[in-house]
Every structure is written in C-alpha cells, then in structure tokens.
C-alpha cells in the first residue's frame, strides 16, 4: 500500500500532470510491475499461498528452512504469489522489487527537475 501511495506522491510532484488516473495508467504501461501493484492495491488481484515444485537442480538456491520443508513435502515449498485475473501467478517479492525500482526510476526525473529549478 505504501508503494501504491508513492505513485500518488509522484503525481502530486509532477507539474505537468493534471489527471491522476492517466498518470497512473501511464506508469502501469511503462512498468508492468506497477500495473500489477496497482491491481493488487485496488483489490483486482489478490495474494495467495501456492505450493511450488522445486526442481532438484535448483536445490542449491534454497535456504536451509526451505530445503528442509521441501524434503518432507515432495520437493515443494510454499510461496506467496499474486493471483492474476487471467489465472496466472507472479512471485510477490519479485513483483514488489521491480515495482519499487520502477517508482525510484520514475522519481529520478522529477528530482532532477526540482534540483534544476532550485539551483
């Protein structure tokens, strides 16, 4: 919710933006992860806990706790994911990381222009 609210703050800081819905739609078009974040915050998608198979060649990537869980659960672990409207699933942590990076990227031009105006 904080990351979603950050988009509204970016809108407030954008002197050329005059419609918040268009501003958010533009962010979502340029950064699909933000579109997923906006959908999640608006309740159009939801978080789910899925059981995910771990291929044996990926066992080295698991932490100790996940490794132990997978041993006793048929080489599976539980993951929090975003259930998309089309039935797809996204890893919530990866999606949030990409969305936050996109917000940071979107904020950089505004910070540069604010510095130029004050200098």
36-71 pLDDT, tens digit per residue, is: 999 999 999 999 999 999 998 988 899 999 999 998
Q: What whole-number distance in Å separates Cα of residue 93 and Cα of residue 3?
A: 13
Question: Do 1 and 14 reside in the same domain of the chain?
Answer: yes
Tokens of residue 85, six digits: 């409207």
Tokens of residue 36, six digits: 């997923």
Q: Is residue 105 part of a domain?
A: yes
Q: Is residue 92 part of a domain?
A: no
pTM listed for this prediction: 0.79
Question: Do 40 and 52 reside in the same domain of the chain?
Answer: no
Range of the domain at 76: 46-83
User: What's the total number of domains in the chain?
Assistant: 2
What pLDDT, on a 0 to 100 scale, did the predictor assign at position 16? Answer: 84
Question: Do 33 and 63 reside in the same domain of the chain?
Answer: no
Those residues whose C-beta lies under 8 Å from the C-beta of residue 61, and which sit 6 or more positions away, are none
């Amino acid at each position: 919710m904080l990351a979603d609210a950050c988009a509204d703050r970016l809108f407030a800081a954008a002197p050329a933006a005059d419609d918040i819905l268009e501003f958010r739609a533009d962010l979502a078009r340029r950064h699909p992860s933000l579109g997923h974040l906006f959908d999640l915050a608006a309740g159009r998608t939801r978080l789910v806990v899925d059981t995910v198979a771990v291929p044996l060649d990926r066992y080295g990537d698991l932490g100790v706790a996940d490794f132990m869980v997978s041993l006793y659960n048929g080489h599976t672990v539980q993951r929090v994911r975003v259930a998309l409207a089309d039935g797809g699933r996204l890893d919530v942590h990866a999606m949030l990381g990409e969305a936050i990076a996109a917000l940071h990227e979107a904020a950089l031009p505004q910070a540069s222009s604010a510095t130029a105006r004050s200098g």
